[in-house]
Structure 1
Amino acid sequence: MITRRTLLSSAAAAFALPAIPRRVWASTTLDLGGLRIDTLSDGNLVLPGDFILGGMPQEEMSAIVARYGLPTDTLRPPCNVTLLRDGSHTVLFDVGAGPDFQDSAGLLPEALDSLGLAPGDVTHVLFTHAHPDHLWGLLDDFDEPLFPNAALMIGRAEFDYWMDPATLDSIGEARTSFAVGAARRLEAVADNLRLLEDGEEALAGVAALLTPGHTPGHMAYEIRAGADSVMVVGDAIGNHHVAFERPDWASGSDQDPATAAATRSALLDRLASGQTRLVGFHLPGGGIGRAERTGSGFRFVEEA
């Protein structure tokens, strides 16, 4: 099908300068029992530090963040979109920010192109949640679906929350645009959207797990291949510093901070106990690694 998007993309390609080097976006690759998992960079966010760090014990928090060589006034977390390929399916977990959120993000189409893939090659998209940096890449500049051949899945509780008109009045002024943007995009694809329950198998070997708090219906996805597994955690574990060292602390980025802290603590305990690899949307080095226990909490160990 020819759309305005494909026509403009073809025209742009015709006048592209061949001397410009291709940027490599695949951050990390993991072979899981014959499954290939890549993390693709959608760019990064630029956030005021208080959005994540506000409300925490400031002296302790500052000491933790300083150990990672990070400032506390402005944070620039990476955005890692997970790509799963098994020879038959090409599956994305979230779709990045698209063109309408922040200029530093929305680079997923370039990342796919670096692997020789086009949006039309994607067969399934599984959403962890409907915040802008995870959902807004669903539509292009012309509000056309960017992944026209993909079956789409999201948690039922997440869908119901964002489609409820009362959410707009209860979410708070700072996140009003989140609610408007999520409802518009989910409504646009509602006829092609499968709603998942906690524990449901989204695809063979891929189980959806309710991990609420960051948003009411946030889902993580456990990918299994024989005895091996990896957990796509989305924003249930939102950073590699305070979220690991003090998972019990409330974070301003979570819509229900107390529930999110309980979810985060339980999830890290599960991952560390089982030595299960994880993929975090905002974790460094492509986001693939493990949670390792420390004396009082956990630390993120990047996949070698």
Structure 2
Amino acid sequence: MLNRRTFLGAAAMSAVMLPATRIWAGSNVKVGTIQIDTLSDGNLVLPADFILGGMPQAELKVIVEKFGLSTQQLTPPCNVTLVRDGTNTVLFDVGAGPDFQPSAGKLAEALEALDVAFEDVTHVVFTHGHPDHLWGMLDEFDEPIFANAVHMMGQAEFDYWTDPDTAQTIGDARTTFAVGAARRLGVVADRMTFIADGQEILPGMAARLTPGHTPGHMAFEIRSGSDSVMVVGDAIGNHHVAFERPKWPSGSDQDGERAAATRAALLDQLAADKMRLIGFHLPDGGLGRVEKDGTAYRFVAES
């Protein structure tokens, strides 16, 4: 069972036990004239039960063996999405920064590899407020790292993480998530632009509410003509159980039942429309397609 102590213990041991193997520019694709790159922020080190806990054990055993998963520890990659359209330089999420896990927080090095400076970033768009997506927004002096950027987040997500009651109700394993999010969002509150479901946030980029992993989680569709990519954040959180059994609640989701319904609908749409997706925790840079596989789905990576 996951608790705060086991979660933080895994974080502290990650640099010694499982050093990150990073691909700085994990994958890239063009949608019309829009250049999209995924950048490695490193990886997380999690107790396996944080994701797999509570799932039907007999069926889960088959999936664990199929994907070669550890039943003790999982090391999901973290893929930040960089979008450049010739006018705007947009980051979807900013990674974990230095204060979450030592195996993560490597975005600065990834940007440097592509010769992108912090001051070049015009917009920072958040899928949600979990540490591995949000905590990289401030420097060691608690100043915004992306000082020239407009920061964008769904209103419901911002309100949830800045509500003082959240830290009291989110559960012991995630208390630090809430405290850390509130502190960071408080610093950038005056530069935050709130976005709504269906809104075109920038030319060719539209928000889509995908709740469950967190209350106001959002995905983002990037489109040019008939070509498109969906940045799904953690609405589809891994390449194994999320695809094999999307309707199973996951321990990583704050509202397991709602997240499962969101995930199943999103996978069905992506497979039917043959739309590419970028997942924050999907392998090989996170870019790929969804294929229907009987009653399940399959992630097919593209590089």
Alpha-carbon displacement from aligned partner over 1:13-65 (angstroms, at most 9, x marks no partner): xxxxxxxxxx8610101011111100000000000000000010112112112
User: What is the identity, as a one-letter code, of the residue corresponding to 2:298?
Assistant: R
Aligned to 1:30: 29
Specify the alignment match of 1:213 in structure 2: 212
CA distance in 2, matches of 1:229, 1:31: 9
Structure 1 equivalent of residue 158 of structure 2: 159
Question: 2-side partners of 1:72 and 1:239: how far apart?
Answer: 15
Asked if the contact 1:44/1:78 (under 8 Å) is kept, the reply is: yes
Is 1:246 aligned with 2:229?
no
Q: Distance in 1 between matches of 2:239 and 2:61?
A: 14
- Aligned position for 1:184: 183
User: In the alignment, which residue of structure 2 is the partner of 1:101?
Assistant: 100
Match of residue 174 from structure 1: 173
Answer yes or no: is the 8 Å Cα contact 1:208–1:221 preserved in 2.
yes
Per-residue CA deviations over 1:175-209 (Å, capped at 9, x if unaligned) read 00000000111110000001111111111111110
Helix, strand or coil: the match of 1:60? helix
Q: How does 1:190-209 map to 2 (within 5 A)?
A: 190-209=189-208
The whole-number CA distance in structure 2 between the counterparts of 1:287 and 1:188 is 30
Unaligned runs of 5+ in 2: 1-21
Question: Which residue of the partner structure matches residue 118 of structure 1?
Answer: 117
- Counterpart of 1:107, as a letter, is K
Task: Describe the superposition over 1:215-242 as per-residue Cα deviations: whole angstroms up to 9, x where unpaired.
Answer: 0000000000111110000000000000
Q: CA deviation at 1:70?
A: 1.9
Matched, 1:290 2:296: no
Cα separation, 2, equivalents of 1:187 and 1:202:
22
Cα distance in 2 for partners of 1:72, 1:235 equals 21
The residue type equivalent to 1:265 in the other structure is A
Q: Which moved more, 1:103-112 or 1:134-143?
A: 134-143
Report the equivalent of 2:53: 54
Runs of 4+ in structure 1 off by over 4 angstroms are none
Give the equivalent residue in structure 1 for 2:62. Answer: 63
In the alignment, the residues of structure 2 paired with residue 291 and residue 24 of structure 1 have an alpha-carbon distance, to the nearest angstrom, of 22
**Per-residue displacement from partner, 1:130-178 (whole Å, max 9, x unpaired)?**
0000000001122111100010100111001111111111100110000
How far apart, in 2, do the equivalents of 1:303 and 1:290 lie? 8
Bigger drift between 39-48 and 160-169 goes to 160-169
What amino acid is the match of 2:118?
Answer: P
CA contact (8 A) 1:196 1:208 kept: yes
| 2:44 matched residue in structure 1 | 45
Q: Which runs of 5+ in 1 are unaligned?
A: 1-22
Secondary structure in 1 matching 2:185:
helix
TM-score, length-scaled by structure 1:
0.91
Whether the 8 Å contact between 2:29 and 2:37 is mirrored in structure 1 is yes
In 2: Cα distance, 1:119 partner to 1:66 partner: 42
Aligned to 2:127, what secondary structure does the other structure show? coil
3-state SS of 1:189 partner? helix
AA at the equivalent of 2:289 = R
Q: Highest CA radius of gyration, 1 or 2? A: 1
Aligned partner of residue 157 in structure 2, secondary structure: helix
Contact 2:23 2:40 in 1 (8 A): no
CA distance in 2, matches of 1:191, 1:148: 12
Contact 1:40 1:108 in 2 (8 A): yes
